[in-house]
Chains A and B, each alone.
Chain A
């Protein structure tokens, strides 16, 4: 551009005037500061000669000031950033969830398909179809409804005392290898880089560039959407991940859905309505048992309790110190992570282990004896009455273990979970 060249006198384009006013010429030309400085000189030379461009510059300045004033009229927002450490802790929790999510996502389909082949059931799956969209919708629903018994018999506390052995070296190696895989998997999702810069174009090409930019924008939006979706803390319909926070939401959804299908079934005079009714009750009971409170009308409160359960990933020693006691793990399974947090205001440790199938098993250990709150005591009482429940394909079984309540969650039949809980060791 040769605004300063009298022989080739072009007026300064409006975009360049704005870049000049904004002090962004170097950036605008995507060149070094020297280039920007040269353009600045050319512009100033031209402005000295050209009254019309001086007028346009003034007008651009007024427009800019006016737009800034309008934007600032939208109110200065008082910003109160939380401590950076909090953000770091949250990012660790999210990273762990994603690792668990990926582990499970890979195996979810396989599991569902296997169970469908083995059992093969039709009607009862319909109730849960509405809640499953992404991964093998029909398969996982059928699995959910057929693979898990309605209610499991009381878990024998003595089972929990049948402890054995210490982790072998093989187990330690397995764990290392899993962690390495997780890190590689984490890398797969990483490349959400900023869009590449495009070289500067002369003004006439700008409109064409806009069309190209639109296409890029759409691609980028789609890509980011996918990433954002993958980032979600385990959308229950896509993969049944054993996570407390996600399960609370799912539970409510499933319960509501079941009621709806019961209503539909009744309207249709379907003879299977009773079975659905039974399921709805199981789900409701699951809410009671796994959650903090016995009263059904405290559902919302319980959801809040779950939502506030933030887990911080720590090492085993820290977890032990945190609970001031032994840490329960299922013998023979590699441990992926330990996390500490609170549930219902009580200290808890979450141990994520890897099942042979590759799916994740979540073991949540909560203290019982210290200052038992009413809600928690009710939960313990409920546990003693009906210590195991199932929620779709993610089953949850709780037992008392010394001074702790141990809850195991995984995409397994509750019987299998009980068998696993029998292998609890310190």
Chain B
């Protein structure tokens, strides 16, 4: 099957960047990794381009995360996030930053599989594509997603509550 890569690129790049951003939390790195995934895809010509791209992107993000831990890059990332919001109102900026951190922490509390399924759905993949990407049975996607959603909400609420108590 001949894949129209220009079309796949046009329709998938933004989804891939968003997916990666929620994994590496750095917009520039998310862009870089999305490009890298496409560069590799063009050389591999996979049958199912979208699922393949997300698989490779997820893999790249995992490697990136490990490298980031080694380099203790989190400090830089927090600075980057703050810099992006520099023009906003300081109170809003603080709130946005707290919210971002809470989402990030809440996601970190999910199992890797739950998080992946949730982020893939969030990036616009269908259940069938998520199944192809994750190796789960298509019938299990709904169940996984239900559990992931519940755990995310619970974790987020718990974090918010903690922050409110702190404040």
Instruction: Give residues in A with beta carbon < 8 Å to B.
Output: 13-19, 22, 24, 27-30, 60, 63-64, 66-68, 70-71, 73-82, 84, 87-88, 90-91, 94-95, 98, 186, 189-190, 192-195, 197-203, 206, 209-210, 213-214, 216-217, 220-221, 224-225, 228, 231
A116 to B140, alpha carbons, bound, how many Å? 56
Residue on B with the closest CB to A87?
Answer: B38
- Chain B CB count within 10 A is highest, among A75, A199, A216, for A75
Residue on A with the closest CB to B9?
Answer: A84
Given contacts A75-B96, A194-B55, contact A70 B153 (CB under 8 A): yes
Q: Which residues on A sit within 8 Å (CB–CB) of B77?
A: none
Main DSSP-derived SS at the A contact region: helix
A30 adjacent to B138 (CB under 8 Å):
yes
B104 adjacent to A15 (CB under 8 Å):
no
Q: Which of B121-159 contact A (CB under 8 A)?
A: 121-122, 126-128, 131-146, 148-150, 152-153, 156
B43 adjacent to A186 (CB under 8 Å):
yes
B35 adjacent to A90 (CB under 8 Å):
yes
Query: Distance (Å) between the CB of A48 and the closest chain B CB?
Result: 21
A80 adjacent to B153 (CB under 8 Å):
no
B59 adjacent to A221 (CB under 8 Å):
yes
Q: Which residues on A sit within 8 Å (CB–CB) of B63?
A: 225, 228
Q: Which residues on B sit within 8 Å (CB–CB) of A213?
A: 113, 134-137, 140
- Cβ-closest 4 pairs across A and B: A15-B143, A15-B142, A200-B139, A19-B142
A91 adjacent to B56 (CB under 8 Å):
no
B140 adjacent to A225 (CB under 8 Å):
no
Given contacts A70-B156, A87-B39, A209-B137, contact A194 B51 (CB under 8 A): yes
Q: Which residues on B sit within 8 Å (CB–CB) of A190?
A: 44-45
Residue on A with the closest CB to B6?
Answer: A84
B113 adjacent to A17 (CB under 8 Å):
no
B90-118 vs A: 1/0 string, CB under 8 Å? 00000010011001101000000100001
Q: Which residues on B sit within 8 Å (CB–CB) of A81?
A: 9, 13-14, 17, 34
B132 adjacent to A195 (CB under 8 Å):
yes
Query: Distance (Å) between the CB of B154 and the closest chain A CB?
Result: 10
Query: Distance (Å) between the CB of A207 and the closest chain B CB?
Result: 9
A192 to B59, alpha carbons, bound, how many Å? 13
Tell me how many residue pairs across A and B have CB atoms closer than 8 Å: 209
A73 adjacent to B99 (CB under 8 Å):
yes
Known: A213-B137, A224-B59. 12 other contacts (CB 8 A): A28-B141, A63-B149, A67-B153, A74-B21, A77-B21, A84-B5, A91-B40, A194-B47, A194-B52, A206-B137, A210-B140, A228-B60
Query: Distance (Å) between the CB of B31 and the closest chain A CB?
Result: 7
- Between A and B, 8 residue pairs with Cβ closer than 8 Å are A70-B153, A74-B21, A90-B35, A91-B38, A194-B132, A200-B138, A221-B62, A228-B60
A200 adjacent to B137 (CB under 8 Å):
yes
Residue on A with the closest CB to B49?
Answer: A194
A70 to B160, alpha carbons, bound, how many Å? 11
Q: Which residues on B sit within 8 Å (CB–CB) of A80?
A: 31
Q: Which of B11-54 contact A (CB under 8 A)?
A: 13-14, 17-18, 21-22, 27, 30-31, 34-35, 38-40, 42-48, 51-52
A94 to B43, alpha carbons, bound, how many Å? 8
Residue on B with the closest CB to A228?
Answer: B59
A22 adjacent to B142 (CB under 8 Å):
yes
| Contact residue among A18, A27, A70 (Cβ-Cβ distance under 8 Å from B126) | A27
B142 adjacent to A68 (CB under 8 Å):
no
A195 to B158, alpha carbons, bound, how many Å? 35
A63 to B14, alpha carbons, bound, how many Å? 26
Query: Distance (Å) between the CB of A42 and the closest chain B CB?
Result: 15
Q: Which residues on B sit within 8 Å (CB–CB) of A22?
A: 121, 127, 142, 145
Q: Which residues on A sit within 8 Å (CB–CB) of B59?
A: 221, 224-225, 228
A209 adjacent to B140 (CB under 8 Å):
yes
Given contacts A27-B127, A67-B152, contact A192 B145 (CB under 8 A): no
Query: Distance (Å) between the CB of B112 and the closest chain A CB?
Result: 8
Q: Which residues on A sit within 8 Å (CB–CB) of B39?
A: 87, 90-91, 94
A198 adjacent to B135 (CB under 8 Å):
yes
A14 to B46, alpha carbons, bound, how many Å? 34
B113 adjacent to A210 (CB under 8 Å):
yes
Query: Distance (Å) between the CB of A288 and the closest chain B CB?
Result: 28
Residue on B with the closest CB to A93?
Answer: B39
Q: Which residues on B sit within 8 Å (CB–CB) of A29?
A: 138-139
Given contacts A70-B153, A95-B43, A193-B48, contact A198 B131 (CB under 8 A): yes
| Contact residue among A19, A76, A216 (Cβ-Cβ distance under 8 Å from B135) | A216
| Contact residue among B96, B103, B145, B152 (Cβ-Cβ distance under 8 Å from A15) | B145
Q: Which residues on B sit within 8 Å (CB–CB) of A186?
A: 43
A199 to B5, alpha carbons, bound, how many Å? 29
| Contact residue among B132, B146, B153 (Cβ-Cβ distance under 8 Å from A17) | B146
Given contacts A22-B121, A82-B35, A87-B35, contact A73 B103 (CB under 8 A): yes
B22 adjacent to A71 (CB under 8 Å):
yes
Q: Which residues on B sit within 8 Å (CB–CB) of A200?
A: 137-139
A74 adjacent to B51 (CB under 8 Å):
no
